[in-house]
Amino acid sequence: MSHPALSLKVTRQDPELIAPAAPTPRELKYLSDIDDQEGLRFHIPVIQFYRQSHLGRGRDPVRVIREAIAKALVHYYPFAGRLREVGSGGKLAVDCTGEGVMFIEADANVSVDEFGDVLQPPFPGLDELLFDVPGSGGVVGCPLILIQVTRLICGGFIVAIRLNHTMADATGLVNFMTAVGEMARGQTYLSVQPVWRRELLNARNPPRVTCVHHEYDQVEGTIVPFENMVHRSFFFGPDEVAALRKLVPPHLTRCSAFELLTAALWRTRTVSLKLDPAEEVRVMCIVNARDKFNPPLPKGYYGNAFAFPVALTSAGELSAHPIEFALQLVKKAKNDVTEESMKSVADLMVLNNRPHFTVIRSYVVSDVTRTGFETVDFGWGEAAYGGPAKGGVGAIPGVASFYIPAKNKKGEKGITIPVCLPAEAMDVFVKEMDGLLETGRLAGETSKKMTTPFITSAL
């Protein structure tokens, strides 16, 4: 289990700006019409834990990473600039000033192991490990990336990152951090060259919305209440996924684990919130669209290149049917992402003043199990944990969950999913999900109890 009462003390040095290590072009670079939509105008936190390693013996991670960032920014120089709005429509563009990204050097009085047997969000002391420097968190005119490197008493360290989401998605951020890692390990070249090319995801001329986009519906109502929210992470290993698979008919058993888990979570979450049966509910599956284009987007493209395809039904229908009902809706939604639908979204952004995606009675899920946060190597090997620092989208709790690669105490590989709900709803969620898993086990002709607890952390 993790330790929410961890006695953490962090000593930080004054924030500094790290500029590119060599001169870079001074120019204005426009974001794409997918990048600068209202729903991405926030900062997203990521965290990586590294254990002590003989590979990095005698080296200071703060110095190594600081110097590597400067070198990587020569190639990713837009990150060293500042966003500004251009024209009366508020279009975002990067003024490539070369000012740099914000960097914080820190030391903490704890070891990696004190964060728990299983590293997963929510992490205690996150605000200390990723300090919100006053005045740095805006979208326009602020540093686009903030990085805090915190040494630990065990010889390990933590790298916490805050990214202005309009600049890049998870794949793009991993591309940049991988470049930092390569510079830190002494490489003189990047394995993947960054590609700007944001015009590839701009609106057409003239713009024309050719697809239905329920992800941007204007919906009346209230979002999940902020009060008394509970954060918990749930581990789904091979046994749990197999149990859920037993609950769907044979023609659906070849679905992906992502589709299956999304269906189960969406239904269970809806039941736990006790919504009016007539109310409309939706789940949005974040889908990387890079390979949906013909030809695919360039490998080094680091802008936002994902869609929010929507599965939509009523709370009553979703709750009354078995998970196969939700599963079929999820599978169809994922298949709706095409090159044409992405172009249609870009056109919608221009025609409708960049609307925010729908948050009312919505649940957003994002699979980062293959993104590669944990593979970033600064010279100490791969991270013991790498991925989102918490659940949620921006300042809106309870709306989103990430699917994060993880291992349980037995070393089995699986997926950790942070969930945030009001306390009463969380109790129902746990009971409903446990019931689904037990039913699946019985359907699989086994009544063996789980050998590892379903709930793996709570705060």
CA distance 441 to 243: 5
Our answer to whether residue 217 is catalytic in this structure is: no
Structure tokens at 34: 């997918």
Alpha helices in 163-256 (DSSP H): 170-184, 238-245
Q: What residues does 307 pair with on adjacent strands? A: 287
Q: Please, are residues 47 and 156 in contact by the beta-carbon 8 Å criterion? A: no
Could you give the angle at the alpha carbon of 218 between the alpha carbons of 212 and 224, nearest 5°? 120
Q: Does the annotation mark 165 as catalytic?
A: yes
Selecting among 43, 165, 214, 231, the annotated active-site residue is 165
Of 33, 36, 367, 377, catalytic: 377
How far is 287 from 80, CA to CA, in rounded Å? 28
Question: Which one, of 312, 411, 404, 316, lies nearest residue 358 by Cα?
Answer: 312
Q: Which residues touch 251 (CB under 8 Å, ≥6 apart)?
A: none
Closest alpha carbon to 392 in 421, 370, 415: 421
- Radius of gyration of the chain, Cα coordinates, nearest whole angstrom: 22
CB-based contacts of 123: which residues, under 8 Å, 6+ apart? 2, 47, 115, 129, 389, 390
Separation CA 46–CA 157 (nearest Å): 14
Backbone angles phi and psi of 166, in degrees to 5: -65, -20
Q: In whole angstroms, what is the distance from residue 214 CA to residue 236 CA?
A: 29
d(CA 253, CA 262): 14
Q: Residue 45: enclosing H or E segment and its boundaries?
A: strand 43-50
What is the arrangement of strands in the sheet containing 91-95, beginning at the earlier edge strand?
Answer: 28-30, 91-95, 82-86
Q: Are 273 and 421 in contact (CB under 8 A)?
A: yes
Name the nearest CA neighbour of 459 among 125, 8, 48, 158. Answer: 125
Annotated active-site positions, please? 165, 377
